[in-house]
Structure 1
Amino acid sequence: MASWLPETLFETVGQGPPPSKDYYQLLVTRTQVIFRWWKISLRSEYRSTKPGEAKEIHEDFLENLHLQGKFDFLERLSDNLLLNIISYLDLEDIARLSQTSHRFAKLCMSDKLWEQIVQSTCHTITPDVRALAEDTGWRQLFFTNKLQLQRQLRKRKQKYGNLREKQP
C-alpha cells in the first residue's frame, strides 16, 4: 500500500553563523535523515574541501548525537502546530512547559490555546459566553467557576441591554 506521506517530510537550508559562510541542508524523507554541508572559504587550506553528506535511517539518527547536532526540533515547528499539541496536555504540564522558554510562555498564555482548550472541554459555547471570552480572555473564562461565570454573563447582558435601550 502506498504511503499518504510525501517523500520529503521536512527540509531546511541555511548558512552558518558569522564569520562562517558555510551552508547546510537538513532533509528528512520517509526513510532517512540526510545532512549535507558545504564549506565556503577564501582560505587556501579549505579550497579543495568537498561538500559533505551524512545519511542515516530514522532509528540510527535518533541515536547518533553527532548527526543531530544542536537542532532544536520543537523550535522549528509552527506556533499553530505547537498550540494544537499543547492543547492536549494536562494543566500541570502546561504550567511546567510555560517555564521552559519565552516562546512556550507566550504560547501557553495565548488566547488561541485557551480557546482550543475551552472548546474541547465544553459541549456548547453560547454566543454570550463567546462574547464574554473575547472581552475577558479565554484563559480567564476557563478558570472562572460556574457561579462567577453566570454572574458575569448577567452583568454583561444588563450592560449591553441598557446600552441598546439608550440608543435612538
Structure 2
Amino acid sequence: MASWLPETLFETVGQGPAPSKDYYQLLVTRSQVIFRWWKISLRSEYRSTKPGEAKEIHEDFLENLHLQSKFDFLERLSDNLLLNIISYLDLEDIARLSQTSHRFAKLCMSDKLWEQIVQSTYDTITPDVRALAEDTGWRQLFFTNKLQLQRQLRKRKQKYGNLREKQP
C-alpha cells in the first residue's frame, strides 16, 4: 500500500512569528521527516549563519522530542484535510473535538463537514433534499428526523410551486 503513496506526504513552509523573519520548512516523505530553517537577520552575528537541516526516519522522529516540540501538527494541517479526517469520527467525538479550540469548533459546525457526513450516510441525495440543505444547513438536515424532513420538503415544494405560478 505504501507504494501508492506519493513520495512527499506533507509539506509546509512558513515564517516564524514576529519579530523573527526566519523561514522554515517541514517535509514528510515516505521514508523520513525533514525540518529545514533559514535564519534571516540584519544583525551582524547572524549574517554568516547557514541554513540548517535535520533529517530523521519516522521511528527516530517519533522519539525526538526536540524536533516534535517545534510544531503543533494539527494546527499546521489545512482545513480541507482536517474536515476529511473529522468526517470519519463518531458524532460524540465530533462534539468533544469541537470543545477543544475555536478552530475545531468552527470546523465541527461547518456546512462542509456536515455535507460530507450526510453524503456518506445516505445512498442518494435528491435535488430537493440538496436545496433544502443549502437553505437550512447540512447539520440541521442531518439531525432532522425523516418525518420532519418530508414535511419540510413538502412545504418547500409548495412555497416554490406557488412562486412559480405567480411569475408571468
TM range (shorter): 0.7 to 0.9
Farther off after superposition, 12-21 or 139-148: 12-21
The two structures, once aligned, show a CA RMSD in angstroms of 2.3
Unaligned regions of 5+ residues in structure 2, if any?
A: none
Displacement after TM superposition at 1:149 (Å):
1.2
Report the Cα offset of residue 54 of structure 1.
2.1
Which moves more between the two structures, 87-96 or 32-41?
Answer: 32-41
What are the ranges of 5 or more consecutive residues in structure 1 without an aligned counterpart?
Answer: none
- 1:49 is displaced (CA, Å) by 4.3
| Cα separation, partners in 2 of 1:41 and 1:79, compared to 1, 3 Å | closer
8 A Cα contact 2:12 2:76, kept in partner: no
Under a length normalisation based on structure 1, what TM-score does the superposition of the two structures give? 0.85
Return the offset for 1:39: 3.5
SS at match of 1:3: helix
TM-aligned CA deviation for residue 157 of structure 1 = 1.6
- Number of aligned residues: 168
Distance 1:140 1:88 in 2: 19
Aligned counterparts of 1:48 and 1:167: Cα–Cα separation in 2: 75
Larger-Rg structure = 1
Distance in 1 between residues matched to 2:13 and 2:95, nearest whole Å: 33
Percent identity reads 97
Instruction: Give the 3 Å change call, closer, same or farther, for CA 159–69 of structure 1 in structure 2.
Output: same
Distance 1:86 1:46 in 2: 43
Secondary structure, aligned partner of 1:158: helix
Q: Could you report, residue by residue, the CA deviation over 1:10-68 in whole angstroms, capped at 9, with x for unpaired residues?
A: 33333333333433332222211122334444545545544433221101101211011
**Per-residue deviation, 1:83:** 1.3
